[in-house]
Structure 1
């Protein structure tokens, strides 16, 4: 009898320990808070748009959405087969509507928000709601655990607003300065730093994705390259007091990201410019320099474009680079045979965007300035934006590729690397193929 009791007590003790350990593991799983999150970025060969994949709904559906750096929110097409048991409409006058700055209410007691296709400049109204979103957390230089946001706010859009987007796209993912953009919602959900970083790949191959980080670094790329704080140059981010969206409410500030370019140099020589165009006019919101992922190439106001290209052509001629006829949409092209290659792309004059001081400059080397259009011609990847554009300089996606850009929203500053080609890596070298 004593032996039976002893065995029973021993068994009970082991069972209790097992259950406690199981509960502890369950609690640890539930209480896991990632320090950062990560999404892949692909480049569509047809439209040159950058896309990411959002895992949404119950049951889960993977959606391709066009990445919009200055976009206000996540919006998706809800007219074509939106089925989810976890979807919740945002009722009029609720806190969710206030967060989204909604000022309209539908007959179904759902608040409406602006849905903006920034590729085509088309806008409409969509219903605000929330649903489950799943996203991966990074573990060093690898993908880690998948985590879930149960009530992620987004806008339901009609199908017609997809026109002009990549054929696989079901909406757009906004990373802009709003309280319902992806960076704001993810940082609020997991209480991490209100920062995000983008690294766009120059490749259109499905095997070579760029990467989008939410949260602070490290930002690790193969082979063991950490593009962290020490490798970034910082400059101030500016807020345009007038919205640059296709449709907006009077008094709204822009959700896009502006930087303070003070001058432009070509091969270390300052270009003569009308510098008033480089500042944002507080009354109209015109002028200034913004960063865009929906513009495939950098676009400049006509007088700036002419001054920069004139200086570039002169500097290229001094290197015996032969100019040839323009190839649309580019205005300045060269004979490829007269251009040598380097680790940083074509050996051409460097273009520097100089900000608050001579030491804070964004240097654009051949890999980001020159576009090979065929086997014989290479062109300067800058476009003429006309004589009175909304924004004087729009830095486009091609100029961002293989450069890491960190947006620190809490401190309103941009950290940018020089071309990662100089570190002997690229934006496609984050390891998405293995799990921790």
Structure 2
């Protein structure tokens, strides 16, 4: 493995792990706050138990997210020094503000975890809400920095120099809103389905049913609502990418030839040499409509770009298909759940519906990983779109492959430790908070 591929692989590995921790850290506090609110309004002890159980999970993911996020910040400077030399002064504002949001989140989490029976009950609840709001703000700010890489703004690039820097324009670039919206909704969907899936498994096993049923309902409503809303943000993102990064859109759809009334390819195996897609199903005109709102509009293909400026088609296309496919599956489950909630209440007691959620536990996070693959691989060969190539930003330091192997071992170990801690936490929950059905005090 050469050093360039090793550097990219290490960054991808670090991001792949961190994004799971950050998504859960962004979203779980809101679940926690809802359960806490129900406890304060109803005095039902099960909601207090749910809040305490979830707060311990939040603490675990906050700690691991903080460590993995810190590693990422060091990796930006160590692996991509040329990038940080020029980009740091331009897009440093969202990172500095993210640090502020992180500190607020840490302080509020400390207040919440140790504030039981010490603070006014509503002030205590507010500290939990602050954990969620600051975590969400932290995620949005990081995504805004990534969006700048896809849509550079806030500077003039003249003769290889970055002049007239405007950090505010850089932070609020053309891509920040669509990317942040899509990422936040994806985090709610992924975390909601994952948490609901774990509680659904416990219900199917008939373990502490009352506790897990209440927990499942909160998580499922969040996750299913997000899954149904997600296509709207996806449409906004698709139109935005078609406008700003037509090469990325072409790679996502394996759209090799510029044409009007372009068809949307479902599935398929791209053949980059023959410039064609094998075994795919093409829906006439739909790509044109999704990209430009007109079934007859022209969609730019990869043939409009020099080969050295084209993203890797196969990886981008497969990742996009996985993201969309899993998103559609989650939408289907969400539709069934809301149908059960409002019309077919008997379904809520059925194992088949719960087992659907159990099967869907990892789908959201797989979709999130696939979506980030589309975002990052689809931007290649640029680290700053149309300004700086990724190959020009990498460190000249040798031996990066050894660093990659070391970090791989470290993250695998971290993943195993977190999994063990969560497994133990779930077991402890059933021992500590096992209440008979209908119990309130």
TM-score, normalisation: structure 2: 0.31
Which structure has more helix as a fraction of its residues? 2
Q: Which has the larger radius of gyration?
A: 1
Which structure has more strand as a fraction of its residues? 1
Structure showing greater relative contact order (alpha-carbon pairs closer than 8 Å, 6 or more residues apart): 2
